[in-house]
Structure 1
Amino acid sequence: MVEAQTLRFGSHDLQELLVWLPAQRPPSESCESCESSRFWIILVHGGAWRDPTITHLNFAEPAVSILLSPSSPVSSILKTQHRSLAIASLSYRLSPHPSHPQDCETTPETSLRNARHPDHIDDVCAGLALLKDMYGLTEQNYMLVGHSCGATLAFQALLRSRSRSGPGSDTLFPSPGALVGLAGIYDLRLLLDNHKDGLYGDIYTSFIEGAFGKRMDDWDRASPTHFSESDMYSGRTVLLVAARGDELVEPEQRDAMRRTVLGPEAMDLPVEEKSSAGESESAFSFEHKGCRYAQMSVDGGHDDMWLVGQRIVAAIERALQIMTAPTI
């Protein structure tokens, strides 16, 4: 497998990204043309904004090993577009985790996990800005793929990319042409409402408050279902993926995000997912108000979506098919 390169965008241990670049370009191809022909899959891991055992490396590895295979269907699609595949996986500062305590007196500041919103999204945006500066990201040449809270961050990054004022406005990068949310968290208040009376209600409260504080208004402002720009999804591909056996994030999160992306009137559109015999995933897609929207369901639980690399690869392949198709 191609060796990953490590790039840093800050002094904290977690402010870095991994990059897997295509095989060396032919001698006749200029560096500039090589960069313009790349298509980037950019991964953002989950872990409730605080789990140090889920990293940008172990999250990416199951999918990267498949994506970089010569027989990868993703590479085959890109070849028809005269593009080569490049992959990046972003790390970001984490909030405290009660099961992984640190001693603030002895832990170096560059290793402390004490992030609070917007630290997490600031880091994701800084990583995207670095990729733009180094490799020329454009709206047409990258897809942002996030799992769980990584999906929250992906949609927050879209909103941030369209803003030219306020926090982080000095960190500029193009909006992603496609977003893939894998078992995503899109509405923090809804997530807690669905779990607060359950066996693990205290855990949901703990990680939401640990990352965003106790004010529910702050939760709403950070939740992609509350982003109100009416045209922010026009001209983009959005694929929302759910795991059939998800034990942590319920399908209502996807339903709520679908309403946000397409508008309330689109909730009456058909949502039947179809699959061929023997397939482990099902999907449907349509275009509405300029947005190429799709849903997909795969087998397994919440973390199986990335631990089983073929599942995240299937989602990426589906999003790429929709993104590159003349019509859907």
Structure 2
Amino acid sequence: MKKLTRYLQKQALQYSDEKYSSAAYLSPRRNHEPQEKLKHHLKTTSSDNNNHLRPKMPPNRKPSNRGAAIPSRISSNIQRVQYASENILQSYELFIPPPPASESDSAIPPPYSEKHPSTPSFPIKRLWIIFIHGGYFRDPSILASSFHATLSLLTDPNSPDQQILALQRHTAGYVSINYRLAPHEAHPQDPTTTPSYEMRNARWPEILGDVLNALRHFQAKHPSTRPGGDEGYVLVGHSVGATLAMNALLHMQNQEGIAPPVGIVGVSGIYDFIRLHETFPGYDAMTRNAVDEEDWEGISVARKRRGEIEAAWAAAGGEGGGKENKRWLLLAHSKEDTLVDWGQLEAMANVFKMDSSKDGPAAVTVKCDVEEIKGKHNACWEDGRELARVIERCVGEIVGV
């Protein structure tokens, strides 16, 4: 009986694993963040207004071709790693590219060396790129696989972009994190028939805890990314993935086994939920679906002081002299984005532009830059081009400055 029970459990877990694998979610249909269809009004709307619900795809509608051309060198070499066992979504995708053909890893290849020919090498030899997806904490169609198009571009050995080829010589590997999701009214689940490890009923701070646990698990497997090692990582987040990246940084100082990133790339990010709801009142109910209202200000990183962020970055570990005390924050956004307004980027950038205060000599110095990208909210990861470009820029800054 025990053997039969174990066999059935194994079969169920395997079924769920295949159901939530990247291939299953790389379908050729068009994914949107759940607020895509929301009608934005500056007047207060009722919390039971259903205008924001994403309609189901009509049966006669032809799917788009997005996501259908991921090369086999990507899809066949992604490893799915479970960092916790409570839920099938507590996993991350790991991709380690083959080593570069000829260039020495220790040398700074062009164009970085051309930009800064007299600048010595950064203490860290190679970087990992770790991505956190968006989906407003709840969209089951936007998972770790949303990074595949970008990954394909960044790892193309025949890329015509010399900066991409330079990035490849300084990249150790790529990680894309899944985390437990909040409920979604357009994708209901019956708790009486859905296995507990497939339920999407997470809330903040459980969702943030998943990201921190994924980083802890990854660094335990790759200790060279911890202080004293010769590798570091850049944390990249899209939409609420950027929210999670910045909040993860602020909580690392209280976590064992997690070293901070060398840089953070926030793309189309949400950094001030109070401001977001003032601009788009209809988002209130969606945010409340995952985050209690009393926590909205606390998770709004744009309401922190610069010194507080820099002190948290230093307290998390890895502080030292010279370049080792410098961190990079690249904020990217599109003025064509109708779901998250440009004001979110401005609010976050102003923390570093307007506030020059420090919380003491141990605080690191954050170099904050702004990059305008093109396209709608999800366009940057749907085709991968703009997301790849801003990642390349951040890595270039870290390696070459």
CA contact (8 A) 2:134 2:239 kept: yes
1:4 is the counterpart of 2:78: yes
Q: Which residue of 2 aligns with 1:282?
A: none
- Name the structure 1 match of 2:135: 47
C-alpha change, 1:145 and 1:230, in structure 2 (3 Å) is closer
1:76 is aligned, of 142, 166, 177, to: 166
Say whether the 8 Å CA contact 2:203–2:290 is kept in structure 1: yes
The answer to whether the 8 Å contact 1:74/1:320 transfers is no
Native 8 Å contact 1:38 1:86 kept in 2? no
2:350 maps to amino acid: R
CA RMSD of aligned residues (A): 2.3
C-alpha displacement at 1:323, in angstroms? Answer: 1.4
Measured after TM superposition, the shift of residue 37 of structure 1 is: 5.2
8 Å CA contact retained: 1:292, 1:322:
no
For 1:170-249, what aligned pairs fall within 5 Å after superposition?
170=256, 172-196=257-281, 201=282, 204-215=283-294, 218-228=295-305, 229=308, 231-232=310-311, 235-249=326-340
1:256 corresponds to which residue?
Answer: 347
- Could you tell me how far apart the structure 1 residues matched to 2:100 and 2:343 are? 45
Tell me how far apart the structure 1 counterparts of residues 284 and 239 of structure 2 sit (CA, whole Å): 16
Alpha-carbon distance, 1:51 to partner: 0.5
- 2:153 and 2:388 in contact (8 A); partners too: yes
Kindly indicate whether the alpha-carbon contact (under 8 Å) linking 1:62 and 1:307 is maintained by their aligned counterparts in 2: yes
Aligned length: 278
Is the CA contact 1:75–1:84 (under 8 Å) kept in the aligned structure 2? Answer: no
- Alignment match, 2:251: 160
Offset, 1:257: 0.6
Contact kept, 8 Å, 1:49 with 1:207, in 2: the verdict is no
1:144 alignment partner in structure 2: 235
Identity among equivalent pairs (%) = 31
How high is the TM-score relative to the length of structure 2? 0.65
Measured after TM superposition, the shift of residue 320 of structure 1 is: 1.2
User: What residue is the counterpart of 1:315 in the other structure?
Assistant: 390
Q: What do residues 153-198 of structure 1 show as CA deviations (whole Å, max 9, x unaligned)?
A: 000111111x22xxxx35x3111110000000001111111011xx
Task: Please tell me the residue identity of whatever aligns with 2:287.
Answer: I
Indicate the SS of the match to 2:134: coil
**Structure 1 unaligned regions, length at least 5:** 27-35, 267-288
How has the CA–CA distance of structure 1 residues 231 and 133 changed in structure 2, closer, same or farther, with 3 Å as cutoff? Answer: same
* Contact 1:74–1:316 (8 Å) recurs in 2: no
* 4+ residue segments displaced more than 6 Å: none
For the residues of structure 2 that align with 1:38 and 1:100, how far apart are their CA atoms? 41
- Counterpart position of 2:144: 56
**Deviations for 1:269-295, whole angstroms, at most 9, x for unmatched residues?**
xxxxxxxxxxxxxxxxxxxx8322211
Unaligned runs of 5+ in 2: 1-72, 102-123, 314-324, 358-363
Superposition deviation, residue 261 in structure 1: 3.4
